[in-house]
Amino acid sequence: MAERGTLRGYQFDKVEKFQIGIGRAAAVVKPPGANPIVLLNPRIAAASDEMDERFEGCLSFFDVRAPVPRPLRITAETMTPDGSTATTVYERGEARLIAHEIDHLGGLLLLNRMRPGVTPIPVEEYRKTAEATSRAWSYE
């Protein structure tokens, strides 16, 4: 079953390979004010050592938020519609979003990426934190 939604201003559609039983995966992400990013059989080819931990939400766990460490820069390889490979570097918020979606396509959830001993918090508690801004991720 395909999933469609909007998360913190980012629109996405995705079909996970384990959902359809074939070795294919696809996601389309639409960052605010930018063209859609199409991910066909994506993989993270490289990731920066520099990490950042921010709260993430997920439609798989709609009522909680969790702090997740992610690299600030990733290089993703995806297949193009003509079958060739495209390589793109994503930074900061886009890197976090793309890594999150690639995790999903591989069957991982944000809970798999949290540091040991860290637990998700209810969205109501998250909204009370200083980081809760109701805006898309900002690294300025």
Residues with catalytic annotation?
A: 101
Dihedrals phi, psi of 96, to nearest 5 degrees? -60, -50
**Core vs surface per residue 24-43: b (16+ CB within 10 A) or e:** ebbbbbebeeeeebbbbebe
Cβ–Cβ contacts within 10 Å for residue 73, how many? Answer: 16
Q: What amino acid is encoded at 130 in this protein?
A: A
Tokens describing residue 122: 């209810």
Cβ–Cβ contacts within 10 Å for residue 53, how many? Answer: 12
